[in-house]
Structure 1
Amino acid sequence: MIKRYLRQESASACVMCEARNWNRPDCPGHHYAVLPGGHVEEGETAETAALRELNEETTLTGRIDRLLWTGKHNGRPASYFLVTEVIGTPVLSGDEADAQSPENISELMWVGADEFDELGLYPADVRSPLTELLGTSA
């Protein structure tokens, strides 16, 4: 997981304010967690993008085992894959590392399903299928 704290200059500039239907002008700051991921670049498959984003954000490499489910993330289509044969030591890197500031903090964490709610895993609709995949109860 990537544990996040994000505060934007205004609520209108903050995707988390929008996702949480915050209706005041100032962004209050948000504590939440996300899975490594991002967007599919031109000419890429979703599988290739998932592995690229994993490496860009964490320096880890792996192999796609299978597609787990699809959904939406911030209004965009999202694909979630099971990645196996993960190699490396996780180190925050890429845009997440470059953007570190008191208003934008990212921290890599290994977590169990019992921590999803406490960390505010976003989007919330990934919590149940991920808990089921891990074979635990949250």
Structure 2
Amino acid sequence: MVASCYELPLFVVIAYCFANSVFGVYLVITFRGPDSLLRITGVIWSVAYGCRLILIAVIPSVTVAQAKKSRMLVERLNNRYLDDASKQEILIFISHLSSRNISFNVCGFFTLNIPFLRSIAVAIVTYVILLMQFKFPEN
């Protein structure tokens, strides 16, 4: 329920940051003006959007890692001396944790994790190279 509320806005933010990163890096590389302040501003904005993309990918990865650790902690709790009803509840909870695959998906298109971050970086480099090939020569 909560995931469905944030899927579309998260998709839009990722697309926006991706597009701004691509065009920001492209403009920084191809800018040939005397004003270095515009180039510095472009670098700052590109870094800001890149950091936002990194945070969007890393935070869910850390959350998934912590969720996987919770299963081990609950199993350790099960080894303690508890009454039968508590042990039964813990076993039910452990089976529930074991049967679920924890991941953050965005509209079913991709999973937010570290390999997604590598894919975004490769796509940014690819699109910048592609845009540089279509640059018109200056007269």
TM-score, normalised relative to structure 1: 0.21
Larger radius of gyration: 2
Q: Determine which structure has greater relative contact order: mean sequence separation of CA pairs < 8 Å that are 6+ residues apart, divided by chain length.
A: 2
TM-score, normalised relative to structure 2: 0.21
Larger fraction in strand: 1
